Structures are given as structure tokens and as C-alpha cells.
Structure 1
Amino acid sequence: MAGLAPPGPDTVPAHLTPSGQRLLDRLIDTPVVGLDAAMTLLVANPCTRL
């Protein structure tokens, strides 16, 4: 939008940390998604899947 190139996959870390995965595993009754800095979906728990 501002004439800047969007970040490529090699510039945005696309991994979920172990602590983030533990948090996702514990929130079984709450819809939770994990996104990277480019707003790419990395993981989602079963509550968020239709």
C-alpha cells in the first residue's frame, strides 16, 4: 500500500515456540489461533475449525 514490498517467508519467522504450543494445548475450550508477524495462520486448536 505504501510502495513497500511485503515481507517474504524468509524474513518473517514462521514457527510456534514450545511455550506457545503449551498454551494452545491448554486452552481446549477456547478458540485460539497462532499467527506470525505477517498474519499467516500457523496453528489453530480444534475449537476454531468448522
Structure 2
Amino acid sequence: MLLARSGLADAIDAALVALCDHDDEILTSDPDDLSALADAARLRVDIIAV
């Protein structure tokens, strides 16, 4: 569902976001995709680029 809402295709990124709760932090080298997925999931998470 997240992939369809966001228009993305990375199932691993979507699974990561699906496991998140509000106010979680995600460390990633791909902040744009994870931000789009978090928005699609309507989650308030901190995306931290590494």
C-alpha cells in the first residue's frame, strides 16, 4: 500500500517505514525516498541522512 501511495518501488524501504512509529528516527543514505514513504504512511518520523 505504501509503495502505491508513494509511487516508489523499493519494498525494503517500505517495510522499514511500515515498522516505524511516530517520533522514531530513521538513519539513511536515501532520505528522499524514506521521507516520501513516511508521508504516504502519515507518520511523523525524523529522517536523518548519513
Q: What range describes the TM-score normalised by the shorter chain of this pair?
A: 0.3 to 0.5
**TM-score by structure 2 length?**
0.36
Larger Rg: 1
Q: Structure 1 or 2: larger helix share? A: 2
